[in-house]
Amino acid sequence: MTTPLRIALIQMNIEAGNPEANFAKMEAKLAEAAALEPKPDLLVLPEMWNTGYALTEIQTLADPDGERTKSVISAFCREQGIAVLAGSIAQLRGEVVTNTVHIFDRTGAEIAEYSKIHLFQLMNEHLYLEAGDVPGIFDLNGVPAAVMICYDIRFPELARKLALDGAQILFVPAEWPHPRLHHWRTLLQARAIENQMYVVSCNTVGESGGSSFFGHSMVIDPWGEVLVEAGEEETILVAEVSLPLVDEVRGRIPVFADRRPHLYD
């Protein structure tokens, strides 16, 4: 893709345990982002935006098979002609709940989904959620892309696998809390630099479920330079991503050609 990809990140406050309020806010924010000029190509939501970390109630709050989320987002995409990476939701699958991203193209077709592989024990995710087991690689308007969720970025081997599988842009919906802002910035920039790809991260803000979230959603280029970064308030952050830069960076510093994987196992 030679035309820049215009991306809008919806950094929003999430009300833990109140899906009705969160759906209403999400729909209002999508409409606000769709009205921007020039119109974005893609909108990105944060992690667990439908329920927040109300984990003790998650079985009753989770979206059964993601049907409500998929219906609302798909209709929006069809009407607006905009693709949406729908953050992640608490999704009920049979008797288990997963932390799952759904991704839709501008026609409203679901093109991919991904469930969080690494569960964060510090917030007791492993007690209430089922881990995914399939990496999140997909094609976005001809662009090889990938998605990880929040805690996943602490696992560089997953990001490297996604890059080796062709990803040129990595999306990271998150609910990353205080006091680990330094970790957030450093890990995201490291994933961009070591894999020579764009990293597009969308965090949440405010108080939710007993934790405080600092925002600082950002877009990082393949050199590790922060193109845009939000503060700690609700906002819609917009950036344009030029995909030819990925090939340029990978050509100038041939990290992938210089790998010696037989020594790493």
DSSP H helix total and E strand total for the chain? 7, 16
Q: Which residues contact 2 (CB under 8 A, 6 or more apart)?
A: 243, 244
In a domain, 165, yes or no: yes
Confidence at 1, pLDDT banded by 50, 70, 90: low
In a domain, 261, yes or no: no
Quick: pLDDT tens for 19-37: 999 999 999 999 999 999 9
Instruction: Name the residue range of residue 17's domain.
Output: 5-253
> Catalytic amino acids?
47, 116, 150
The tally of domains found in the chain comes to 1
**How high does pLDDT run on average in the chain?**
96
In a domain, 9, yes or no: yes
Quick: pLDDT tens for 190-236: 999 999 999 999 999 998 778 899 999 999 999 999 999 999 999 99
DSSP assigned state of 40: P
In a domain, 260, yes or no: no
In a domain, 259, yes or no: no
What is the distance between the alpha carbons of residues 87 and 85, in angstroms, rounded to a whole number?
6
In a domain, 211, yes or no: yes
In a domain, 15, yes or no: yes
CATH code of the domain containing 88: 3.60.110.10
In a domain, 262, yes or no: no
Q: Which residues contact 192 (CB under 8 A, 6 or more apart)?
A: 170, 198, 199, 220, 221, 222, 223, 224
